[in-house]
Chain A
Amino acid sequence: MLEVKNLHVNVEDKEILKGVDLKVDLGKLVVVMGPNAGGKSTLAYAIMGREGYEVTDGDILFNGESILELDTDERARLGLFLAVQEPPPLPGVKGSLLIPAVIKRRRNLPMDNKLMDIKILREVRPKLDSVGLDSSYMGREVNVGFSGGEKKRFELFQALAYDPKIVILDEPDSGLDVDGVKLVAKLLDEMRSNGKGVLLITHNPRLLHFVEPDEVNVLIDGRIVKRGGMEVAEFVEKHGYEKVLSG
């Protein structure tokens, strides 16, 4: 479904990704783990086509077709969603404004139809419950004054509400307590069962104890240096990333 082929990416003229191959099929949960500054977030941004992340070689395919020429929003509407690591505050923009706007745009509905908003808000309400946020969050300005955990939950909520085909999550568990981590794991598992492709990016193997990944990749210095099953994550947890390279 989502396929990354020999991907080379420059950021500010510096090569960060040096030939990454990766595949995320529907109904699969694929993990990319690695130390900080290894290129994990760059991979996520490059897939989403963020400005400043220049693909110098290789390709990104969605449904077998290259999406390199598409803008970020076009990729998103195609069915990719990125839950970002540090969601920026949007002063004045309430959830009740953002969520319906995004859904209308994604479904190609008229943007000025206000009645639709109410319908959409009613429709997504259970998804807000499922990430453990009450409906008052829709009346709050998005990511303004949110704790780290609240931001993560609101990202997860959006991942559910927008109904993408591929969900990319960049460190969805950082800043969460154990219960939070378990909740994330449960939701990721549900997404997979519902036929979504899940690409989970993390530097902390902790979350992996609660999900059963279909594939674990280790990304170090811009390259996938190891690929396998849960045993790869366990190795990293036991010996650290350096040993992955030497071992």
Chain B
Amino acid sequence: MTMHNPDELVRYKTPEEILGYAKDYPAEVEIRGRLTESTIREISKVKKEPEWMLRLRLKSLELFNKLPMPNWLQGIEMLDLDTMSHYVKPDIEMSSSWEDIPKDIREYYEKIGIPELEAKVLHGLSAQYESETIYHKMKKSLEDKGVVMIPMEEAVHKYPDVIRRYFLRIFPPSDHKFAALHGALWSGGVFVYVPKGVRVEAPIEAFFLIGREMESQFEHTLLIADENSYIYFIEGCTAPMFKTFSFHDGMVELYAHKGAHIRFTTFQNWSKHVINFNNKRAIAEENARVDWVEGSIGSMLTYVYPSTVLRGRNSSSRSVVFTLAKGPYIKDSGSKMFHIGENTKSRIVNKTISMDGGINIYRGVIRIPYGARNATANVECESLILDDKSFAYTYPHNQIEEPTASVSHEATTLRLTEDQIFYLLSRGLDEDDAKNLLIMGFLDELFIEVPFEVANILKKVLEIEFEKLGGVG
């Protein structure tokens, strides 16, 4: 998420305008070119990884080479991995003080308002630039409660047993080609552990920034909420403008143990020069709850499908996804719910806006196999299409084998009608006000679904995106 400080936003507008063109900042290590076993070995060596992690990477690479290109992807053809940087270690020492971060890079984060948000709201922040975490800090009060939040690399060394138990097991690299690629090249991201019964009420944030073109970013976030714990985690991403493009293939793995509750919110506002592939999956044990919120505003192409495996009895999950496809860009999204335990509940809300030639595609999955008794799933998809050049497609996929399952699906496509516009104009609103009001109205339910502070940030971001349409708040 680029957008923490509304005033900044109003002044500076889109990520392109906020951050401008990418700055040339030196890399300490850069690994690029043809993707082979030796590429992987080199990355692992730079990171001084244990043997088991190297093996995991190599196995993932093998899978990547074997797995077919997913046939549902559109537009990914332009990506030629052999021309990309797979790993970029910026010449910056990781620090817990913004003072230590080089001015040029610090400015990026300041323009977005990250340090300010940290001071006001957050209880922990991890900021990644290119392939490595450059800033990391957690409040002492959380540390005292036994909460762990450390860069992923550190966790590999510090808690190998825990990492081996969860890492790439919630989302196996065998799932699809880009999950495998991620497994082979992952770098950066955070590991979070919340002990039994501990509640992390104020949000923790991880922020990812891609600073150069023809680069791939593969951060990995692993979050384990032990029994009856609670955590609210926000991740945000952005990038400046590039002449060509960059590639993001991150992964989020969540594990909610018995009775735990995880809220995971993502704001993606990549510049229009980023191809964004997201891999997000959670496992919920008995009585656990996982809430996803995904706000996908920027990027050239985005593929994102928050998924929950409802493994335990009475577990539940909700996924609220909003995507904006503005301009000749594609958003391919959808939530997936796998009901395994009995009495599991899921709810999917998907809202998309297509304008200026944008395309939104929804691909959701509800799976209720035989034996997952009394599962309830409900899906609501609403697409708002603002002009004739823009499109929205919905491909829901339900696999229901269990006779006691209760599944509902609603899909609606809305267009702003001339009747509505004239009505508002005849009140005295101008055309931009009118459209803005109707768009904000369309999103109203979304704002109710997400936490207040998140809703406010989202509103601000959207006001900027719709600025051309006027400024009704």
- B401-420 interface mask toward A, CB cutoff 8 Å, 1 = contact, 0 = none? 00000000000001001111
- Count A interface residues, CB 8 Å: 30
Return chain A residues, CB-CB under 8 Å to B424. 90, 98
**Which secondary structure dominates where chain B touches chain A?**
helix
Contact between B423 and A88 (Cβ–Cβ < 8 Å)? yes
The stretch of A79-87, A119-127, A192-200 in contact with B is A79-87
Interface pair A88/B428, CB less than 8 Å apart: no
Among A76, A92, A111, A114, contact of B441 (Cβ-Cβ < 8 Å): A92
Interface Cβ pair total, 8 Å cutoff = 84
Partner of B471, one of A51, A71, A112, A114: A112
A73: chain B residues at CB < 8 Å are 425-426, 428-431
CB distance from A123 to the nearest CB of B (A): 16
The distance from the CB of B34 to the nearest CB of chain A, in whole angstroms, is 51
A115, chain B: closest CB distance, angstroms? 12
A106 within 8 A of B: yes
Check A76/B471 contact, CB under 8 A, given A90-B441, A98-B437: no
Asked if residues B426 and A76 are in contact (CB atoms below 8 Å), the reply is yes
Contact partners of A158 in chain B: CB under 8 A: 427
Q: Are A162 and B427 in contact (CB under 8 A)?
A: yes
Contacts of B425 in A (CB 8 A): 71-73, 76
The docked-state distance in angstroms from the alpha carbon of A192 to that of B95 is: 72
Q: Smallest CB-CB separation from B446: which chain A residue? A: A92
Per a CB cutoff under 8 Å, which of B428, B444, B445 touches A76? B428
Whether a CB of chain A sits under 8 angstroms from the CB of B433 is yes
Inside 8 A of B420's CB, which chain A residues have their CB?
88, 90
Say yes or no: A101-B437 contact (C-beta < 8 A), given A92-B442, A92-B445.
yes
A114: B residues at CB distance < 8 A: 473
Which residues in B have their C-beta under 8 angstroms from that of A72?
A: 422, 425-426
Flag if B441 contacts A91 (CB, 8 Å).
yes
* Residues in chain A near residue B442, CB distance under 8 A: 91-92
Chain A, 67-107, CB within 8 A of any chain B CB: 71-73, 76-77, 81-82, 84, 87-88, 90-94, 97-98, 101-102, 105-106
Chain A contact residues: helix, strand, loop or mixed: mixed
Q: In the docked arrangement, what's the CA distance between A232 and B101, Å?
A: 84
Q: Which of A43-72 contact B (CB under 8 A)?
A: 48, 50-51, 71-72
- In the assembled complex, the Cα of A50 lies from the Cα of B444 at a distance in Å of 28
- Measured CA separation A72–B106 after assembly (Å): 48
Q: How far is the CA of A94 from the CA of B422 in the complex (A)?
A: 17
B438 within 8 Å of A by Cβ? yes
By a CB distance below 8 angstroms, the chain A residues around B419 are 88
A111 touches B471 (CB 8 A): yes
Q: How far is the CA of A97 from the CA of B418 in the complex (A)?
A: 20
In the assembly, what is the distance between CA of A114 and CA of B431, in Å? 20
* Complex interface: chain B residues within 8 A of A84 (CB): 423, 426
| Chain A nearest Cβ from B422, distance in angstroms | 5
Interface centre among B423, B427, B471 (most CB of A within 10 A): B427
CB distance from A105 to the nearest CB of B (A): 5
- In the assembled complex, how far is the CB of residue B388 from the closest CB belonging to chain A, in whole angstroms? 16
Bound CA span A31–B18, Å: 57
Residue from the list B417, B437, B470, B473 in contact with A88, Cβ < 8 A: B417
A residues less than 8 Å from B105 (CB atoms): none
Q: Tell me if A141 counts as interface (CB < 8 A to partner B).
A: yes
B454: interface (CB < 8 Å): no
Residues of A within 8 A of B417 (CB): 88
Using Cβ atoms and an 8 Å threshold, which residues of chain B touch A48?
426
Q: Find the A residue at minimum CB distance from B437.
A: A93
**1/0 per residue A137-181: CB within 8 Å of B?**
000010000000000000000100010000000000000000000
Q: Is B440 an interface residue (CB 8 A)?
A: yes
When distances are taken between beta carbons in the complex, the residues of chain A under 8 Å from B443 are 92
Indicate whether B76 reaches chain A with its CB closer than 8 angstroms.
no
Find out whether the CB atom of B473 lies under 8 angstroms from the CB atom of A112.
yes
The smallest beta-carbon distance between A160 and chain B, in angstroms, is 13
B473: A residues at CB distance < 8 A: 111-112, 114
The reply to whether B414 and A101 form a contact with Cβ atoms under 8 Å apart is no
A141 to B428 Cα, complex, angstroms: 19
Q: A111 touching B472 by the CB < 8 A rule?
A: yes
Residues of A within 8 A of B441 (CB): 90-94, 97, 141
| Residues of chain B within 8 A of A111, CB atoms compared | 433, 470-473
Knowing A88-B417, A111-B433, A114-B473, say if A93 contacts B438 (CB, 8 Å): yes
The answer to whether A90 touches B423 (Cβ under 8 A) is yes
Please determine whether A106 and B423 come into contact, CB atoms closer than 8 angstroms: no
Known: A111-B473, A112-B473, A114-B473. Is A105-B429 also a contact (CB below 8 A)?
A: yes
**CA distance in complex: A92, B417 (Å):** 14
List chain A residues, Cβ under 8 A from B429.
73, 101-102, 105
Say whether A102 contacts B427, CB under 8 Å: yes
B438: chain A residues at CB < 8 Å are 90, 92-93
* Residues from chain A with Cβ under 8 Å of B423 in the complex: 84, 87-88, 90
Of the A-B pairs whose beta carbons lie under 8 Å apart in the complex, a sample of 23, sorted by A's number, is: A51-B418, A71-B425, A73-B428, A73-B429, A73-B431, A76-B425, A81-B426, A88-B417, A88-B419, A91-B441, A92-B441, A92-B442, A92-B443, A93-B437, A93-B441, A94-B441, A94-B444, A97-B437, A97-B441, A98-B424, A102-B427, A111-B470, A162-B427
Chain A residues with CB under 8 Å of chain B are 48, 50-51, 71-73, 76-77, 81-82, 84, 87-88, 90-94, 97-98, 101-102, 105-106, 111-112, 114, 141, 158, 162
- Besides A76-B427, A94-B441, 12 more A-B contacts (Cβ < 8 Å) are A72-B426, A84-B426, A90-B437, A92-B440, A93-B438, A97-B440, A98-B437, A101-B433, A101-B437, A105-B430, A106-B428, A111-B472
